Homo-oligomer: A and B are copies of this chain.
Amino acid sequence: MKVIEIDVLEEVELNNPVFIEALPGVGHVGKLVADHMIDELNAVKFAEIYSPTFPPQVLVGEEGIIENMINELYYIKDLGEDNLDIILIGGNTQALSPDGQYLVCNEILDFLEQFNISRIFTLGGLPTGQPVENPKVFGAATCEGNVELLKEIDVEIRSNDGGIVGASGLFLGLGMRRGIEGSCLMGETPGYFIDAESAEGVLLKLSSLLNFEINTEKLDERAEQTKLMLAKAQQMEQDLINRTNAGNTDDLRYIG
């Protein structure tokens, strides 16, 4: 079994696409943005990515249908005034182990080489540790030029300011080593609920940077749905963890 297995659904030609990472993380900000962009901008899924570094489970989706842990690649052609081609990566998970994170991100960048990625944007939440009013969007970038672009649209620039953990960090870091510029947009969020307001902030900054328009009306609704869905799922899993810890299946700690 390879680090990642990619099922290509459609061979597609793209013009120096912008690569956008929006995988699940803090406050589900990235995932909310991804789901919303996919729906509103009619993104087309062209590849599915599986990995033994993902959590060892499946999800029970709507109506009892089982779903694999997955990352998905979508494309959007001719977006906005600059007629940009976009590749967006979304999904329901990230690699579980630290080295798995590196290996998966690196192999995805290997796969994307054929498209001549021009820039990378990674999206996520920045946890504040307390309730936030009027959440800001924070940013960082791989070079001064991109930092300037972020400043121009009033993204708050982080400085000497901790790490960007997971795919949002590694796509930028590994991209840098391949000579691809990138920026990160992080919506301020308490982090412990599905944060539509934070996601909206990130999405609007991204649309400014890439010069496209997007209706954010349904983001609240989407967040509400996600919240209900996840709340139930998380409750089940928490119960499972509690039971397993209290119970007598000591060497099967994480197995349901």
Contact = CB atoms under 8 A, between A and B. Distances in A.
A140 to B, nearest CB: 4
Contact of A66 (B24, B56, B127, B141): B141
Given A103-B52, A170-B56, A248-B192, A232 B162 contact: yes
A155 B158 CA distance: 42
A239 interface: yes
Contact of A52 (B62, B102, B150): B102
Contacts of A193: 247-248
A164 interface: yes
A104 to B, nearest CB: 10
Contacts of A162: 59-60, 232-237, 240
A60 B256 contact: no
Nearest to A186: B256
A190 interface: yes
A99 B256 contact: no
Copies in the complex: 4
Contact of A237 (B144, B250, B254): B250
Given A166-B252, A193-B248, A143 B68 contact: no
A215 interface: no
A135 to B, nearest CB: 14
Main secondary structure of the interface of A (DSSP, over half): mixed
A56 B102 contact: yes
A112 interface: no
A242 interface: yes
17 contacts: A26-B247, A26-B255, A55-B98, A55-B163, A57-B170, A64-B140, A64-B141, A65-B147, A94-B252, A98-B254, A126-B256, A127-B247, A163-B233, A165-B256, A192-B248, A230-B248, A231-B248
Interface of A: 1, 24-28, 50, 52-69, 93-103, 106-107, 124-129, 139-144, 147, 150, 157-170, 172-173, 176-177, 182, 184, 190-194, 229-244, 246-252, 254-256
